[in-house]
Amino acid sequence: MISKVAGALRALRRTAGRSALPRTVPGHLRGWAAAALLAVIALVAAVSTGLEDARQGLRLVGEDAGPQVVHTGHLYFALSDMDAQLAGLLLIGAEHDLGAGRDRAQERYRARRGEAHRALLQAYEIAGTDRASRRTVRDVLNGLGRYEQLASRALLLNDQSGHPAGPPPQNVLGVYRRATDLMRQDILPKAYNLTLENASVVRRAYVDERSHVLRSRVAVGVTALVLLAVLAGLQVYLAYRFRRLLSPALAAATALTLVLGGWALLVLGSTSSHLRMAKEEGFDPTLAFTRARAISNTAAADQTRFLLDPRRADTYAQVYFDTSQAIAYRESGNLADYYRRLAEAPPELGFLGGVPQGSEVLIRYRAFQEQDERMRGLVRRGDEREAIALRTGLMTETFTAYDQELSRLVAHRNADFEREVAAGAAALDGWNRGLPAAGIVLAALIVLGVWPRLAEYR
């Protein structure tokens, strides 16, 4: 009994082996065709995955997180300039025509307030479902409301005092200190955190999606080679068994595989390159110059605070020095040393680090620092009124020229960023329709190459 069961099992194994491994010519042809069709599916899937990774990377970097950084950078600038204009209004006092004039300062204050509110609304919309970002935006908005109340009270008390140009009465300074402390210690850091959070999102998206695209290129190359190998094997088999040197349909499939695989590799490589250029040549400089513009405006406000609040003058001077080092770093121990070293060579680090010696933005930044040195010299000599006239007049014009140059650089780099993103997106156009069509044509050519030979056995 046991021997009969063992014999039956051996017979089943022999039968299964014969059915699993075709030994007839039609069976071989079907096996080759099935392998080729599976390779076609794998190639189409690899190309589709790579294209989707490329689209996702361009969408995240170019349409979502990237623009968020620009918006939050404008938010920081608008907020810091509000406080700068408030300090200037209090410094001018009753002498409305001093320097750029009270009307212009009030106009800029109102304009920046409107820009800040619009930027906050945009930041809230862009944040989408990100609860942390939305909470930060709400905190900034609430803080801005408290700041505006304090600013209005400081301006009212300032107008009532009717003081000449220079530090206002202590009751005005007391309210202003609360306002500027709220802005500098609470509102601006939160606005800056929004920029940093969005920048980190861009960096993570760039690293992740670009690595996905590069891996997809490898997958496309491997699957294309596998398909070519299967098609070549099928050609050799047909030539050996049917004495046919070439199957036109399989030759066309081979050519189409070369075109599809090569074109997909080229497009994925091009998209990866556009993504890299958008990040390194567009986004990174845009972010650096946007932050330089915002922090430079804070430095300019510290100059006004230095004149406005003598009790905190030393603190504002130190903060100005630290901020200047962040903008354009030159190794130095104090402001006097910084002025000298900045005049000798371009900055080593900072937001303007690496800027060429003769660049317009560096020329204007040095002019701004030269006038800062002159202003502080006037204060040391006791010429506070002349220092105030310099700060509210010529120094304002010099800073505006420097800020305009930074704005030009931001616009130029942002245009580079948008151009690279658009070029990457354009390279992906047409693949949604073309790739399935190419897969269907490949499958049809393989079937056409095998079908006539199979028909001979019917």
Q: What percent of the chain clears pLDDT 90, i.e. is strictly above it?
A: 21
Rounded to the nearest integer, the mean pLDDT of the chain is 82
Q: What is the pLDDT of residues 244-275, one digit of tens each?
A: 667 788 888 889 989 988 898 898 888 888 88
Residue 19 has pLDDT above 50, yes or no: no
Q: Are 297 and 81 in contact (CB under 8 A)?
A: yes
Residue 7 has pLDDT above 80, yes or no: no
Phi, psi of 349 (to 5 degrees): -135, -165
Q: How confident is the model at residue 192, as a pLDDT? A: 83
In the structure, what pLDDT confidence band is assigned to residue 405 with cuts at 50, 70 and 90? Answer: very high
* CA neighbor of 281 nearest in space, from 154, 458, 409, 393: 409
DSSP state string for 420-434: HHHHHHHHTTTHHHH
Span 5-28, average pLDDT: 50
Q: How confident is the model at residue 452, as a pLDDT? A: 67
From the number of C-beta atoms within 10 Å of its C-beta (0-12, 13-18, 19+), residue 114 rates as: exposed
Q: What percent of the chain clears pLDDT 70, i.e. is strictly above it?
A: 87
Residue 242 has pLDDT above 80, yes or no: no
Residues in the chain, how many? 458
Residue 390 has pLDDT above 70, yes or no: yes
Q: What is the pLDDT of residues 60-90, one digit of tens each?
A: 777 766 666 666 778 888 888 889 888 888 8
Q: Name the 3-class secondary structure at 329.
A: strand
Between 457 and 168, the higher pLDDT residue: 168
450 vs 444: CA distance, rounded Å: 10
In the structure, what pLDDT confidence band is assigned to residue 12 with cuts at 50, 70 and 90? Answer: very low
Q: How confident is the model at residue 453, as a pLDDT? A: 61
156 vs 183: CA distance, rounded Å: 19
In the structure, what pLDDT confidence band is assigned to residue 50 with cuts at 50, 70 and 90? Answer: confident
Helix (H) or strand (E) holding 13: helix 2-20
Give every CB contact of residue 329 below 8 A, 6+ residues apart in sequence.
Answer: 347, 348, 349, 350, 353
125 vs 68: CA distance, rounded Å: 10
289 vs 280: CA distance, rounded Å: 13
DSSP state string for 104-117: HHHHHHHHHHHHHH
411 vs 416: CA distance, rounded Å: 9
Span 89-113, average pLDDT: 76
Q: How confident is the model at residue 152, as a pLDDT? A: 92
Domain boundaries, the chain: 25-455
